[in-house]
A and B are shown apart, each in its own frame.
Chain A
């Protein structure tokens, strides 16, 4: 939790201390003061989410340490690492982006490079986070009796993922065609190094969530199952919420130029969902850890 305090103080200092981009103020039709006020308001729910993420990470660290020499310990260690990357990945890229955006105000010619770097940084966080969670889910499911996903479950998963993929690709391409200087990548690079990695990360995450849910549904142990189900629901909500955040941030939100209020409300709703998931995850982990303490 020390890291949470340090990184939050740095982020708040940078977000409120650095001068806003005049172009952004012009696009949103607001003054510098109003912009800072909006940022301050936005930082409150962000702070809560960051705290929830670091709290869930801390609980998972304690639990995975308590069971480190066991078969399920190996699985929870991977999930804990994923939660760690998620927690740090929520703040660190924000700090880097704030610094780079400030540099770009004085050196507009490097704005494309900064946008590309920020996008790739976000993709890296997504891939690493979801890869750890996916591997953890696989390890965990392999410790118990093997339960194949049901046919209807597989169909629903495939259907939802195809819809998500098509919609994301359509929106990215739509904004790319109509606003050439948004992603600063040509079509080939945009598809292969932006769209595909995001979709791959989301596929890993959704599959991991499904495996968690499947394991939690069938694992032996009435009380253990109750705690694990809470954890599995939590991680599923976090994954779905994170995907929604990434989806909106990379399509609609970044392109909205007129309605700051609408963006704020949308961000609040999405981050509330992620926050609820993180709290559920932490509560489930706390219950699981209790089994190792009494």
Chain B
């Protein structure tokens, strides 16, 4: 139960970060990345998936904008989340 809650938090935190860039499209965007590239249900993502998911997100967002600063800022926040989650787990 605790593990499930942690996983859910990870997903929610990814969506929360994404919301600052994609607004109302954030949930749908993350759900699609997880389902299409990780072949999982969005709520089932774990810490192990975060780094892989970040790579896919970088690729996808690069298709949405030419502004590399925005892409790097967004990806930086996702990488920071990965580090924090790892630290919490340790």
Contacts and interface: CB of A to CB of B under 8 A. Distances in A.
Interface of A: 67, 70-72, 143-144, 219-225, 228, 287-288, 290-292, 294
A70 B22 contact: no
B70 A222 contact: yes
Interface of B: 19-26, 28-29, 32, 60-61, 63-65, 70
B24 A219 contact: yes
A222 B20 contact: yes
Main secondary structure of the interface of A (DSSP, over half): helix
A72 B63 contact: no
Given A221-B26, A290-B64, 19 more contacts: A70-B28, A72-B24, A144-B24, A220-B20, A222-B70, A223-B22, A223-B61, A223-B70, A224-B22, A224-B23, A224-B24, A224-B25, A287-B64, A292-B25, A292-B32, A294-B29, A294-B32, A294-B61, A294-B64
Contacts of B61: 223, 294
Contact of B63 (A70, A288, A290): A290
Given A70-B28, A291-B29, A223 B65 contact: yes
Contacts of A290: 63-64
A222 B22 CA distance: 6
Contacts of B23: 219-221, 223-225, 228
A222 B21 contact: yes
B24 to A, nearest CB: 5
B19 A220 contact: yes
29 contacts: A67-B25, A67-B28, A70-B28, A72-B24, A143-B24, A144-B24, A220-B20, A220-B23, A220-B24, A221-B19, A221-B22, A221-B23, A221-B24, A222-B20, A222-B70, A223-B22, A223-B23, A223-B64, A223-B65, A223-B70, A225-B23, A290-B63, A291-B28, A292-B28, A292-B32, A294-B29, A294-B60, A294-B63, A294-B64
